[in-house]
Structure 1
Amino acid sequence: MEHHHAYAQILRIAEPQDPYIHHAIEILGAPQTAYILSRKTPLKFKEWQKALSQSHSSMSETLHKSSEETYLALQERIQRWSQRAETLSPEQEHRSAQSLNSWICTPEDEDWPETLNDLGSSRPYAIWGRGERKRLQELRHIPAISVVGSREPTQYGHSATNHIVQDLVATKTPIISGGALGIDAIAHNKALEASPSNLPTIALMACGVDRPYPKQHQQLHEHIINRGLLLSEVSLGTPPTRWRFLQRNRIIAALSELTIIIEARWRSGALNTAHHALELGRELRAVPGSIFSPTSQGCHKLLREGLAQPITCAQEVIEDLHLENFSATSNTENIQHLAKEPLLTELHQRIWDVLPLQQGISIEKISMLIGTNPRNIMSALGYLSHHRLVENTNHLWHKKKR
């Protein structure tokens, strides 16, 4: 089975973020995993044992249970999702994909965004996309920034988003958001309006890329497809649910060098994105608001707890991430050179010195070894990860083999 077709089948049947499905793909390969999930081939215990014994799995120790336990866990999933395998038509999905000019990108593809691998066993199995696929290559060379926030922004939030995004996209920085109402839509629209880049913005959907949601954003999504990218980890036809919105937030954080929160209530999906960014070692910024505004309570909470740094203008981020270097460079070769020659601070060097080559160590361990606040270490690791100097495998950090 051709591997793109296999991954499309896996997305149709399996729930995202299932570590046992990742384990099966690693042990058996995507085609065999797809056959098993679609019940075209039974998963036999002896064959699973043999494949497991011959593998060099890098999955976390939590999955290194007995072969019988992992086998039973997979069988339970096959049974639980059996109705999906019986009711969904691969041929119909293929026809829909062709009519929409949509495509699927897998971890084996050259244009797979490597920063998604920082999610470990929570990374997407694959991603569906709409828009010129060659734009994915931009994400491998230019740092992207996510801008998320309230679905009911004030005029202040609207103005702050326009102000910050306009200056960021002037450096040809792609803006990532979730395609939702409020701050998401403002960020996408301003990026499309003001950016001179070939990839002004990316929308991560909580539904299939063939289902415009919300409906009033259909025209916005068309503009994003024409000039940017519309991405999703779920199959075509999948409807949006509250859980899907929270689930896709980890992908927004993983694709971004830095996340900016603009207006978020005390309980907000934007704060969920913020926490994913912190777990991945990405930088986090929050725009301060009025002390009387409930839409800024979440931002103030992040600032008060020292989880985010305040941002009042885009120039602060531009200088910190050296984005002016990218805006001054027009050809891809020079962009790649800049990405390979990062400016390393003393903190970056100290972290590099204590990181092992193979067996990763936790942020807490790094903090103990160099005597620095874990939050600062998380931010520095995000920078090193973007420049492909370090890797995160199941929340353990090590030097990237070169």
Structure 2
Amino acid sequence: MHTTVGIIGAGPSGLLLARLLHRAGIDSVVLEAKDRSYVEQRQRAGILEQTTVDTLRAVGAGERMDREGLIHDGIELRFDGRAHRIDFPELTGGRSVMVYAQTEVVKDLIALQLAEGGPLFFEAQVHSVEQANGDRPTVRYTHEGREQTLTCDYVVGCDGFHGVTGSAIPAAARRTYERTYPYSWLGILAEAPPVYDELIYAHSERGFALASMRSPSVSRLYLQVPNGTDVADWSDERIWDELDARLATRQEPGWKLARGPITAKSVLPMRSHVTEPMRHKRVFLAGDAAHIVPPTGAKGLNLAATDVIVLAEAFTELYKNGSTALLDAYSETCLERVWRAEHFSYFMTTTLHADPEQSAFDTRLQLSQLARIAASPHAATELAHNYVGAPISQDAA
């Protein structure tokens, strides 16, 4: 089989790229190692920037999102026993974010791809991506018990941090930058209606907590826990009690979360990682295959979407006008935005979490920074602009 663009990975970035290419008249094949059920239930981010929302609408994947998604005009910071709201539209000229789970984005994009897009193969285990001397790359994979070959004009790896595509870039041709954090997140899904209108980010002596939602009847909540935590050590009652303790403020004594059955628990390690460049010859990396951010800044899914938006525009320019200028600039264009998002995610993470080895002095610095955001319109505006994300056309500004 031959295709113009071979896409490895049917997460949101791979599926969105396939959709963008389809609308531009460029053929592609998507190979996904897992089965459809697994992909559609894979829990990840749930915050969509305005650019991501606008793009999903533009490719025809916005109908259910607009019906079921929850527009959020701000977040609440809780620290030192008080709460402070950051108003996004007021500080950013009207921009906001939307809560719509990655599982739902993926379901919508899969349905579109199967209905009218190019081939999408589930349970297609890719073994290697090979390219010699800049020739067209070859993807070798197993599907339905048979070893198969896909030749491509180009390959895009949307297969995540542990994916196969990254190995197609020789170690001598790339640089990696990484930071790990001395804590993880214990995340839960609960059949409990949120008692808050927007996300709550809480700094406390007991550790960080985040209250978010998936729908008006389902809460998504997180607790900072030590690395290596076993979810079996956390009973439902212990989780709820700890969330209440960390989210408490002096302004609302007795404030409690609505409790309900916890349907899922998982521990998420925290990592920052960037691979440069995001291209080698005819192989490109996008999303988690190229960069990872801690989830505190809600940037992972949105960075992945931006990567493939830029890449789809570059492929369109190549096949319609014969110009490689945008394709040649892909890595540099994306990395400028990636590093800004890495910095913001690092800032949010280190400002809100309690490092197990930090001193009382370090804690006071965190509280001072949070107090500055609450008191200074300039500091609040910077946070708001970073959180909602800049339009792609403004990246160079």
Structure with the bigger percentage of helix: 1
- Normalized against structure 2, the TM-score is what? 0.30
Of Structure 1 and Structure 2, the greater strand share is in: 2
Task: Identify the structure with bigger relative contact order (alpha carbons < 8 Å, sequence gap 6+).
Answer: 2
